[in-house]
Amino acid sequence: MRMAVLCLLAVATSAQLVPAVAQDAPHQQQAREIYERLISFRTAAGQGQVPVMARYIEETLQSGSIAPGDMVTLPHGESAGLLVRVPGTDAAARPILFSGHMDVVDARPEDWERAPFTLVEEDGYFFGRGTGDNKAGIAAMVSTLLRMAADGHRPGRTLLFAFIGDEETGMETTRLVAAHEWVRDAEYAINTDAGGGMVAEDGRPLMYLVQGAEKTYVTFRLSARNPGGHSSRPRPDNAIYDLAEALLRIRGYEFPVTSNALTRTMLGTLGRVLPGDAGPFLVRFAEDPNDAEAAAALRSDPYLAAELATTCVATMVEAGHAENALPQRAEALVNCRVFPGTSVADVHGSLVGVLANPDLSLEVTNEPIESPVSEPREDVMAAIARSIHARYPGLPITPYMESGGTDGLVYRNAGIPTWASSGIFMKDSDMFFHGLNERIPVAAFYEVLDHIHSLAVELGGL
């Protein structure tokens, strides 16, 4: 999951956290057992555990009366995706896709305070790699399928559930899912891997975010070359110095402020619930994105700045070949998150202009996916609102743009509008996805189960 989290400290809102839902219902106990099993699979790249986890899910669903003919495994290298179908009663209605990813960023047990691939419940939290990113969503999808099968109901339209095997790396199984004959005609997708509730440090909810757009992920390799020589005879031309000067130029460059209806809506909603200096500037920018003073004020916060423009930052450097030799090569990786509607080619051209050094090379290292914005859809937003307001009445709900990337990039690029709604409510200080001691509140896990189930029931037309 890559939920946009803004640094918000002392805030006030009329909504109050509701007591944790009961945790002794049969479906909750069942989902808790499934969740524990899911966490135990080390589904990081290179571990070969994704197909094993997919088989576990398939066997669990078969035991819950999901027909084998309604499940298909999509292998890819060491990974695999799993696609599950719940046939609808209306053959003319287009299907809806629910999606989540089984893989995780790896965790080294020696670095963690608790075993990362063992679910630990402690002090009101579930600890473990993938507890939030994204095995809570996977558990909720499995739970929803089992509950629907146990109830014996069929949706009005076909529901599809995609269990992705490599979202954290190449998203190749996502591409296989998007191209599958069951999915190609999907009307839209709900992604369980992003979106969620923003909670203040005092425990009060601020607002609920529904992801409807993502920045394009692209990495450039910036290279300087030089004949080199003996370090006892330094020369003005030096590959390391050339690279260093180039990186400082990139550091000092700000891409033009950019916005769309989705980002302005989100920033305006945030501004109305956020006290202090930032709130009025957020509202001003939402009302007038040409307000240079407001934009400058917001750019001082890295979280808010990410919502205002394309960003590029140096992330890795490698140079030289010997301590007693002038460097023949110096390279850096520059990672960019490109605002929707801006092309990678345009960003490349801007950086070349900023570098102003024809002797440097700048090459794309990955295969970036440029995806369109999924404008809010009334029935989807209404279903999400009903689910959230059942627990948090009156809480503001707004679409937003993800500064990171999820499988939604692939679906949108394939012509399937996608909105992400995880159902997770968390404080910023609890956000350790991809980091040490990942966790989510216990209450949040059980809320996710009901959130995904309620969306499937309502949007599927049971």
Whole-angstrom CA distances from 462 to 157, 283, 457 are: 8, 40, 5
Same-domain status, 97 and 233: no
Domain range for 197: 26-213+372-460
Domain assignment of residue 431, yes or no: yes
Which of these three, 246, 267, 300, is where a domain ends? 300
Domain assignment of residue 315, yes or no: yes
d(CA 71, CA 86): 9
Question: How many CA atoms within 13 Å lie on the side-chain side of 446?
Answer: 19
Which of these three, 349, 369, 389, is where a domain ends? 369
Same-domain status, 377 and 364: no
List the one residue out of 219, 198, 171, 196 whose CA is nearest residue 412.
Answer: 171
d(CA 83, CA 72): 5
What per-residue confidence (pLDDT) applies to 11? 36
Compute the C-alpha angle 420/422/427, nearest 5°.
120
What per-residue confidence (pLDDT) applies to 17? 47
Same-domain status, 180 and 227: no
Which of these three, 369, 394, 413, is where a domain ends? 369
List the one residue out of 201, 203, 146, 185 whose CA is nearest residue 25.
Answer: 146
pLDDT by residue, tens only, the chain of 462 residues = 444 444 443 333 333 444 445 588 999 999 999 999 999 999 999 999 999 999 999 999 999 999 999 999 999 999 999 999 999 999 999 999 999 999 999 999 999 999 999 999 999 999 999 999 999 999 999 999 999 999 998 999 999 999 999 999 989 999 999 999 999 999 999 999 999 999 988 888 999 999 999 999 999 999 999 999 999 999 999 999 999 999 999 999 999 999 999 999 999 999 998 767 889 999 999 999 999 999 999 999 988 999 999 999 999 999 999 999 999 999 999 999 999 999 999 999 999 999 999 999 999 999 899 999 999 999 999 999 999 999 999 999 999 999 888 999 999 999 999 999 999 999 888 888 888 899 999 999 999 999 999 999 999 995
Q: Tell me the pLDDT tens digit for each residue of 169-221.
A: 989 999 999 999 999 999 999 999 999 999 988 888 999 999 999 999 999 99
CATH number of the domain bearing residue 42 = 3.40.630.10
Same-domain status, 388 and 285: no
What per-residue confidence (pLDDT) applies to 22? 58
CATH number of the domain bearing residue 324 = 3.30.70.360
Same-domain status, 271 and 193: no
Same-domain status, 334 and 454: no
Same-domain status, 50 and 191: yes
CA 305 to chain centre: 18
Same-domain status, 156 and 291: no
Domain assignment of residue 343, yes or no: yes
Same-domain status, 162 and 245: no
Same-domain status, 101 and 240: no
The H or E element that residue 160 is part of is strand 159-164
Which pTM value belongs to this model? 0.89
Domain assignment of residue 14, yes or no: no
Looking at the 3D structure of the chain, how many domains does it have? Answer: 3
Question: 26-40 and 442-460 are packed helices; what angle lies between their axes, rounded to 10 degrees?
Answer: 110
d(CA 116, CA 237): 48
Same-domain status, 33 and 174: yes
Domain assignment of residue 65, yes or no: yes
Domain assignment of residue 55, yes or no: yes
Domain assignment of residue 1, yes or no: no
Domain assignment of residue 9, yes or no: no
Are residues 266 and 400 in contact, defined by beta-carbon separation less than 8 angstroms?
yes
Same-domain status, 164 and 195: yes
